[in-house]
Amino acid sequence: MESTARTELITLGGGCFWCLEAVYELVDGVLAVESGYSNGHVPRPSYQQVCTGTTGHAEVVRVTFDPARIPLCEVLEIFFAIHDPTTRDRQGNDVGPQYRSGIYWHDPAQEAVARAVVAEADAAHGGRVVTELQPEANYWRAEDEHQHYYARHPMQGYCAFVVAPKVAKFRRTFAARVRAGV
């Protein structure tokens, strides 16, 4: 029997990657989430390098999803609900270009959807959305200790006080999108 399953990959930056990863790991239709660094100029950057704000990279998550179960527009609606797209190079106390809001597409169809969703978000936020829209470039996977960070360290200070409220907001706002059993 031939498989007709299809997956898509979108790369998103919305502040610290631990926050985005923790939410997208709960989304029904999301098959995998990987933390990494994207759209900078230094090849194979480390976390320490990216934290300096000089590599040009954003902290991102690569989200692999099944578009038959969750369309890209809904993946992006969740994105805009769980971070502040109106603050340039900042999410809460995390400040620097590595924390910028960005959607990094993988094909022209994704670009079109992203532009439409950003336009809607911009209208909803009074024209203040600063989300960067670019094709993904120079992606590098984050170190193992950053993968599934919230799931492994829910009581760590940053996780308890910054990540957990975003996870709770997702669960409240998108209850129908929470994967069964999590």
Q: Which residues are catalytic?
A: 16
Pairing state of beta strands 30-38 and 58-65? Answer: antiparallel
Q: Identity (one letter) of the amino acid at 5?
A: A
Q: Give the span between the Cα atoms of 6 and 9, in whole angstroms.
A: 10
CB-CB neighbours of 137 under 10 Å: 13
Nearest to 107 by CA among 28, 13, 7: 7
Burial of 54 (0-12, 13-18, 19+ CB in 10 A): middle
